[in-house]
Chain A
Amino acid sequence: MTTTADRPSQEFKVVGSRPIRHDGVDKVLGRAQYGADLKLPGLIHGAVLRSPYAHAVIKKVDVSRAEAAPGVFAAITGDDMPVTGSKVVDMVEEVTNLKWSSQRVMAHGKAVYRGHPVAAVAAVDQNTALEALKLIEVEYEPLQAVISLEDAMKPDAVIIHDDLVGDHLGEKVSPTNVAEHTRTEFGDPEAAFAEAAHVLERTYTIARAHQGYIEPHSSTAFWSPDDKLSVWTTTQAPFGVRSNVATVLKLPLSDVRVVPMEIGGGFGGKIGLYMEPLAAMLSRKSGRPVKMTMDRKSVFDATGPGPGGQVTAKIGVDKDGKILAATADIRYMAGAYPGSSISAATAGIFACYKVPNVRIDAYDVVINMSKTAAYRAPGTPQATFASESLISELCETIGMDPMEFHLLNAAEEGTRRPDGPVFPRIGNVACMEAIRDSEHFSSDLEKSPDGKLRGRGLATGYWNGGGNRSSVTISVNDDGVVSMVEGNPDIGGTRTTLAMQAAEVFGLPAHDVHPTVADTDSVGYNDLTAGSRTTYASGQAAIEAARQVVEEIKKRMAMIWETEPENVEFEDSVFRNKVAPDQRLTFKEAAGKLGQTGGPVSKTGTVNVRGSGGGSFAAHLVDVEVDPETGKVQILRYTAAQDAGKAVHPSYVEGQFQGGAAQGIGWALNEEYYTSPDGVMQNSSFLDYRMPTALDLPMIDAIVVEVPNTNHPFGVRGIGETSIVPPAPAVGNAIADAIGTRLYQTPMNPSRIMEALANKRNGKNGH
């Protein structure tokens, strides 16, 4: 790892170190409790009957035989769901029609994606539940499935939701499959293109790709006879689940308690509701706690991957290669219900550049596949595949070095992002320079010894990161150790990164702060673990709580020393009386005196972090080798540089850079939903949904760039997501460099590479 800091900033004791994670022992020893590990007295097991059709009217569902089977406790259908009426509500992560939120988790009258729940049963064990599903009689009337942009947007398209009213540039349109068409404009791109020395326009197709978390979804619910509902679930958003379950089941918010279980990967895919309301209804009917766990096929068929789609991008430059204008047309397939991150795509597609004239059209289109969800920098890798591939090809066309192009056009502090916000201090240029100065960049790409083709690719990426609401409670124990209660499920080591920020305030070792992720009844409100916000925003709540604790202990010390609190100072974990300097107590000594000076000290820090997460930029450099006889691509070398602001735990930061790069390489090379014309995913297993394995990746070199974030006391930026943005175009640019022709479609799998090579031999290009 290389760390570059462009100015000496604060001195840190804990932040920037690499302690062993607090939850490490439990995870290594298999004691950590993931969703499916939960055991409760009287627990029974649920199973879901899913639609085999992507689009069908459900004429009849009869669960009577299943309900009567031995060992079966309860069965439910769409008729059992409390909410069926149309009503627009704010569901925390999205504003949506409540009817759809309810119907998405259980079909009512119509199945709109393959894997759509049609009925569910709960039985004494999982096998009995699965066997009982076979006794459910469903009468379907299959409809034509809409699974492409073309089919969804054509004038006589089959309409998926009769009650969908599209917002097309402010105009209400129905019937339609286009839920939203937005336009972002600034300046006069057409006039600028007319003046440009070079203009290039290309269209790119991006495949729908799943987060591929190892842990399948698992949810358990117990509906108590007093109508209090407890939910144990694998989620990134316990408070979001609480509110959404309450809304869908028409329960008072505070009668729902959500216990977040340890989470085996989420990447944005564990935010929305899936089986929680079904387990709750089965529990209500049976009087027992009900556990439901998906198999991998259901995870692929019926949860939310990132959207696929089509992006047309156009850039015009002057004779020196300076960008004059850029336009884009972004069309994402949201799945069966609206909501495919088109606004983030709009924000991200040209964010790395100064673009004086811009227009971005974006379309959110429904199709008959499961609704897409957030996937690490939602919407942005797809759009960036277009912009960064286009820029690479443009550089080839005008004979300009891509590094030079990036540095000439790079957005910096004060640059207006195409959709409006003006960047604060950012590390865009610093990341590019870190790559330029790396050993990787200055080393020559060696020729393959056996006739394979090698190439190098560069791409940048951006993700803004979120702030929002967090609460952290810190209590001081007599021995000077503090306990810290937080409400963000731990993804990527956030227990430790929050504890470290509190420990920094106290001047204590990281392990003297004991973090616990609590349920929704045991900690103040916290927004979800997503949007790269946890270390950044909840970290500020931890700092705030810790500072309040210090202030309170200062008052206690003032009592002991019979002075005013403002005379007590705290530095290097020691309280001192400024007036009588020999009066001093360490934090640990002071902690033992709280009982006699007014009782326990426990403070809650709450924040509502407004505006930008500071923005984290990245630049990735990759070398590939292509076997021209088979089309196989091997990643030879990979370097990822990204701005962390201040890396709280550098190992975790490096891990995030590497993990995002690994996922992005999967998008680039092999990952896709391979779907039949009737909307059935053919490769719904890890065998055929080809994510990269450890044997497919080199060690990814992570360069942590630190340009402090002015919005965080320690300069921290949210860093979890940007790393998935540059890999697909970087790999695509490297492949183009290797084989001398370009692919305009992900995944760039061996069959497509062979086709591109054949086209090249026949004098055809791919665009």
Chain B
Amino acid sequence: MHPFTYVAPRTLDEAVAVLEQHGERARPFAGGTDVLVQLRGGRFDLDAIVDLKGVPEATSLDLNGSLRIGAAVPCYRIYEDSAVAAAFPGLIDAASLIGGIQIQSRASLGGNLCNASPSADGICPLIVHSTVAVVQGPQGERRVPVEEFCTAPGVNVLGRGELLVALEVPAPARGFGAAYQRFIPRNEMDIAVAGVASALTLSDDGATIASGRIALAAVGPTPLFAAKASAFLAGKPATPETFAEAGEIASTEATPIGDMRGTAEHRIELVKVLTRRTLAIALGRAQSNR
């Protein structure tokens, strides 16, 4: 491993300055559950890692109707906050699923997003919650919808000197429900063969879907927002038939490869099944949120 400097800034400006100075030779560091493994695995060399855990904006978790999750907030803080857990069960599905207990005490949803893995468990639930990524850089702040954040496997929109500060999750509307499920061959310690997050908002009649969002993991180069399947849901009755059809449509938006984790054909089938299953859970949550 190439020797690198550990920097622990206290302010966003400091962090941005160090990142700008080193460019691609520096990375922000939250839990380190990806970046340290990648460094040790020789994926890349760094001259500096910039620990965000001393930067207040990156470590705060604020619930005020909407939810603001600092980029370095570890998963356990999200699921152990009972108010957050009650309001955002669809995010908890992912926060309590990523890794084991030890990993969850370090790993953050922000890091999960920046790592930009197509199979990330954290990203699809953020997408269906219409989450916005708050980015700070040399030119100041900019805001990026999460579905536009990842651009290729392991690649994101962050430019030189930029870092993810926080994730802003809008307050769930009345009648909103969301869920995430992934398929793994074992019961733990696995990367998703495919994953689906679904969200829907019920109309006042409690039976019609006003709007819906579906996002797909591990079936494309990035986590995918399934635009057609999402649009299809609007105005449809919240029934198993609708969910099955949404799954069929979502499966046409998936572009999986076959690899050691599963075949492309299997992944397509899983998108259909998991879309159905997550929509059914989302519906249950939506009904209890009216």
Chain A interfacial positions (CB closer than 8 Å to B)? 127, 130-131, 629-632, 669-670, 674, 682-683, 686-688, 690, 692-693, 695-696, 749-751, 754-755, 758
Contact = CB atoms under 8 A, between A and B. Distances in A.
Contact of A693 (B2, B189, B191): B189
Contacts of A758: 265
A693 to B, nearest CB: 5
Interface stretch (B76-84, B87-95, B180-188): B180-188
Interface residues of B, number: 22
Contacts of B2: 131
A670 B185 CA distance: 8
A758 B268 CA distance: 13
B262 A755 contact: no
A631 B270 CA distance: 9
Contact of B191 (A632, A674, A688): A688
Nearest to B266: A751
| Top 6 A-B pairs, shortest CB-CB distance | A674-B260, A751-B266, A695-B187, A751-B263, A683-B260, A629-B273
Query: What's the dominant secondary structure at chain B's contact region?
Result: loop
A749 B185 contact: yes
Nearest to B261: A688
Given A630-B273, A754-B266, A690 B190 contact: yes
Nearest to A672: B260
Interface in B241-263: 259-263
Contacts of A751: 193, 262-263, 265-266
Query: What's the dominant secondary structure at chain A's contact region?
Result: loop
Contacts of A131: 1-2
Given A629-B273, A630-B273, A695 B186 contact: yes
Contacts of B193: 750-751
B62 interface: no
Given A130-B1, A131-B2, A674-B260, A750 B266 contact: yes
Contacts of B183: 630, 632, 750
A686 B190 CA distance: 9
B259 A682 contact: yes
A755 B273 contact: no
A696 B186 contact: yes
A687 B191 contact: yes
Nearest to B193: A750
A674 B263 CA distance: 12
A365 to B, nearest CB: 24
B269 interface: yes
B78 to A, nearest CB: 23
Contacts of B259: 674, 682
Nearest to B194: A630
Contacts of B260: 674, 682-683, 688
Contacts of A630: 183, 269-270, 273
Interface string B170-202: 000000000000010111111101000000000
Interface in B231-290: 259-263, 265-266, 269-270, 273
30 contacts: A127-B1, A127-B3, A130-B1, A131-B2, A629-B269, A630-B183, A632-B183, A632-B185, A669-B185, A670-B185, A674-B259, A682-B260, A683-B260, A686-B189, A688-B261, A693-B186, A693-B188, A693-B189, A695-B186, A695-B187, A749-B262, A750-B183, A750-B262, A750-B266, A751-B193, A751-B262, A751-B263, A754-B266, A755-B265, A758-B265
B25 to A, nearest CB: 16
A648 to B, nearest CB: 34
A750 B1 contact: no
Nearest to B276: A629
B251 to A, nearest CB: 13
B271 to A, nearest CB: 11
A632 B190 CA distance: 13
B196 to A, nearest CB: 12
A662 to B, nearest CB: 13
Contacts of B270: 630
Contacts of B269: 629-630, 754
A31 B37 CA distance: 27
A682 B262 CA distance: 13
Contacts of A687: 189-191
A48 to B, nearest CB: 14
A632 B184 CA distance: 8
A670 B191 contact: no
B186 A690 contact: yes
Contacts of B186: 670, 690, 692-693, 695-696
A630 B260 CA distance: 16
A84 B41 CA distance: 33
Nearest to B262: A751
Given A131-B2, A629-B273, A630-B270, A696 B187 contact: yes
Given A632-B183, A690-B185, A696-B188, 18 more contacts: A131-B2, A629-B273, A630-B273, A632-B185, A670-B185, A674-B259, A683-B260, A693-B186, A693-B187, A693-B189, A695-B186, A695-B187, A750-B193, A751-B193, A751-B266, A754-B265, A755-B263, A755-B266
B257 to A, nearest CB: 12
A692 B270 CA distance: 22
Nearest to A674: B260
Nearest to B273: A629
A641 B132 CA distance: 58
Contacts of A695: 186-188
Interface string B100-133: 0000000000000000000000000000000000
Contacts of B191: 687-688
A91 B262 CA distance: 41
A758 B263 CA distance: 14
Contacts of B273: 629-630
A296 to B, nearest CB: 10
Nearest to B264: A751
A357 to B, nearest CB: 41
Nearest to A749: B185
Contacts of A632: 183, 185
A754 B263 CA distance: 10
A694 to B, nearest CB: 9
A121 B258 CA distance: 38
Nearest to B188: A695
A631 B189 CA distance: 18
Contacts of B187: 693, 695-696
Contacts of B266: 631, 750-751, 754-755
B51 to A, nearest CB: 20
A25 B228 CA distance: 61
